[in-house]
Amino acid sequence: MSVPAITRQPAQLHYAIAQCSLGSVLIARAERGVCAVLLGDDPESVTSELEKRFPHAALLRRDQELAQYLSQVVGLIEAPGRPLGLLLDLRGSTFQQRVWQALQEIPVGTTSTYAEVASRIGAPKAVRAVARACATNPLALVVPCHRVIGKSGSLTGYRWGLERKRMLLDRESQR
């Protein structure tokens, strides 16, 4: 899937990468806060996605500087439901912002359908647009799009892979 570039580009991003049980996790921080949490098979794939998402930003790798942020995100993967103290810089359209806010309100260990999310934001006919907003979510785990499933109960798509989605939901249900 093609990753859309963010329209309001920060001039500079600091990012860090760590390995975890889901593969590589990248966190990127702009001046206003964390603007990306990406998952992938290896450091190259997450770095490439960051470059595509922020093509005009100067990307500076700062593993030590962002170690605390990375630790919080990896902690969320390994022990879902932990509170995060991250200042976010979530960039997207007004509609995307509404969807992403609704996703953050889905409790750990539960799921919601795309139709339920659409209804929750007052746009019951915008199921496909909700799915698209989930697919373009720049903050894996922090904005828990993995908690959204198909009407039939199937996992449907997940931009970071269905196996990762399954693992995340399994961990959350055991919490």
For residues 4 and 130, give the distance between their C-alpha atoms in angstroms, rounded to a whole number: 16
Q: Which residues contact 17 (CB under 8 A, 6 or more apart)?
A: 24, 25, 26, 43, 46, 47, 61, 63, 70
Q: What is the mean pLDDT of residues 30-53?
A: 96
Question: Is it the case that residue 2 has pLDDT exceeding 80?
Answer: no
Q: What is the mean pLDDT of residues 28-56?
A: 95
Which tens digit of pLDDT belongs to each residue from 98-139?
999 999 999 999 999 999 999 999 999 999 999 999 999 999
For residues 43 and 37, give the distance between their C-alpha atoms in angstroms, rounded to a whole number: 13
Give 74 or 6, the one with higher predicted confidence: 74
Q: Encoding tokens for residue 1?
A: 């899937």
Give the number of other CB atoms < 10 A from CB of residue 12. Answer: 13
Short-list 98, 77, 62, CA closest to 160? 77
Instruction: Give me the active site residues, please.
Output: 145
Which tens digit of pLDDT belongs to each residue from 129-169?
999 999 999 999 999 999 999 998 888 889 899 999 999 99
Question: Is it the case that residue 66 has pLDDT exceeding 60?
Answer: yes
At residue 170, the pLDDT reads 92
At residue 82, the pLDDT reads 78
Question: CA–CA distance from 49 to each of 8, 45, 153, 157 (Å)?
Answer: 17, 6, 29, 18
Beta bridge partners of 13: 59
Tell me the CA end-to-end span of the chain in Å, nearest whole number: 31
Question: Is it the case that residue 3 has pLDDT exceeding 60?
Answer: no
Which of 45-49, 73-77, 111-115, 126-130 shows the lowest mean pLDDT across its residues? 73-77
Question: Is it the case that residue 14 has pLDDT exceeding 60?
Answer: yes
At residue 133, the pLDDT reads 96
